[in-house]
Amino acid sequence: MWRHIASNFLTFLVLLVFLLGGVILWGQNEYQAAGPLDEQICLRVERGTNMRAISRKLEAEGAVTNGSIFRIGVDYADKTSQLKAGSWLIPDGASMAEITDIITRGGASTCGTEVVYRIGVTTSEVQVRELDPATNRFVEKAEFTPGPEAEVPQTYTQVLEQADTRYRIAIAEGVTSWQIVDALQQVDVLEGGVDEVPPEGSLAPDSYEVRKGDTVASVIENMRDAQDRILAAAWENRAEDIPLDNPYEALILASIIEKETGVPTERGQVASVFTNRLRQGMRLQTDPTVIYGITNGEGVLGRGLRQSELRAETPYNTYVINGLPPTPIANPGRASIEAAVNPLDTDYIFFVAKTLDPRDGHLFAVTLDEHNENVAAYRRLEAERDNQ
């Protein structure tokens, strides 16, 4: 009898081991299999949250089929203690294993709230926006112009307290170094300041992700490093016959191109005009350089140029001086730098605005007679506007 009982017990143990192995295999498959999400979601992980709470949240969101299997899988992968606070974009169909990797990998949040500090040529603004997981597009939540008398939205104040808020500095092409420093010193999440304004043209217009507590000096250093790399690469790939002696002259010309046109497709044409003028020993005769000589890059002139200013002998008055001004007049972007060292091959010597809207670009001309006709057409548009 005891032999029969022992035999049955042994059979039961074998069956139990077999069933347990099947359950483990099933659990592993469930952990690795595609998940039930029909569309991606943004999962917010608060500081101090544990994996048990997150598994319940994922189960409630329909991101996992079984919270217990998820926790067991995370524990088996030895990642239970690696949960990272932040907002994480969970793609549709993500497996439990993929979700585990997303929420334990770390780094900057991949969804949720983002504050963008936009530094423009004429104005700056702060924008609070949030990623809509369904469309993968940002939705604006608040916007305001910074300054001592600014009405700061409560939404902005609230997101500054969130640990997972992301911050970005967006610099427009053609902004001066003084404008950048002035604006950065008003960014709430940055600390410190700078002793002096960086050289004009030395900062690369771009979008820079920053963290709360970063210094103004460190952000500016990143911008300078980026511009150095862009300029070096462009100069290395320059056309052989351009009338420029060194990278700094290319930077000066690029800044003039940047200020003369906001139409990306005509940078090469504008560059060709100035290149042809330099080759022929003609003066550049460009208003933005005169304006810089008046403002020193500290803000916007806000009015038209006077005839006396166009005749004044200053280092930046290209109606009076020959060749390039002594320094850049703004911080040019990559496209303008590349246009300066690789201009289009044209015979253009002149250009004038096509309409009263700068976004419409310019009319280019080879001869003075053709240019005068284009100028006359522009003057008629001005007269029609003034008579309305």
Could you give the 3-state DSSP secondary structure of residue 88? strand
What is the predicted pLDDT for the residue at 384?
Answer: 81
Residue 321: count of CB within 10 angstroms of its CB: 17
Could you give the 3-state DSSP secondary structure of residue 117? strand
Scan for tokens 């139409």, then name that residue.
263
Tens of pLDDT along the chain (388 residues)?
545 454 455 555 454 555 544 555 655 677 788 888 888 888 888 888 888 898 888 888 888 888 888 888 888 888 888 888 888 888 888 888 888 888 898 777 777 889 999 999 988 999 999 888 877 788 888 998 988 778 888 999 988 888 778 899 999 999 999 999 999 999 989 999 898 999 999 999 999 989 889 999 999 999 999 999 999 999 999 999 999 999 999 999 999 999 999 888 999 999 999 999 999 999 999 999 999 999 988 988 888 888 888 888 899 999 999 999 999 999 999 999 999 999 999 999 988 888 888 888 898 899 999 998 888 888 888 788 877 7
Helix 287-295 vs helix 247-260: angle between axes, to the nearest 10 degrees?
A: 100
Beta strands per DSSP E along 93-165:
113-119, 124-132, 137-144
Residue 305: count of CB within 10 angstroms of its CB: 13
Could you give the 3-state DSSP secondary structure of residue 85? coil
Q: How many residues does the chain have?
A: 388
What is the predicted pLDDT for the residue at 4?
Answer: 47
DSSP assignment of 261-317, as one string?
---GGGHHHHHHHHHHHHHHT-----HHHHHHHHHTTSS---SPPPHHHHHS--TT-
Could you give the 3-state DSSP secondary structure of residue 104? helix
- Expressed in angstroms, the distance from the first to the final Cα of the chain is 114
pTM reported for the whole predicted model: 0.79
The phi-psi region of residue 383 (left if phi > 0; otherwise alpha if psi is between -120 and 50; otherwise beta) is alpha
Please answer whether residues 60 and 26 qualify as being in contact, where contact means their C-beta atoms are separated by less than 8 angstroms: no
What is the predicted pLDDT for the residue at 6?
Answer: 46
The domains of the chain, with CATH numbers, are: 29-105 (3.30.1490.480), 113-230 (no CATH), 238-387 (no CATH)
Give CA–CA dist 188/153, Å, rounded.
Answer: 14
Please answer whether residues 224 and 203 qualify as being in contact, where contact means their C-beta atoms are separated by less than 8 angstroms: yes
What is the predicted pLDDT for the residue at 24?
Answer: 53
Pairing type for strands 124-132 and 137-144 reads: antiparallel
* 162 DSSP 8-state letter: -
Angle at CA 192, nearest 5°, toward 188 and 195? 130
Measured CA to CA in angstroms, residue 32 lies from 82, 112, 195, 290, 333 at distances of 19, 26, 55, 65, 46
- For residue 132, what are the β-bridge partners? 137
Give the closest residue to 335 by CA, choosing from 244, 271, 275: 271
Give CA–CA dist 294/303, Å, rounded.
Answer: 12
- For residue 55, what are the β-bridge partners? none
What is the predicted pLDDT for the residue at 22?
Answer: 52
Could you give the 3-state DSSP secondary structure of residue 61? coil
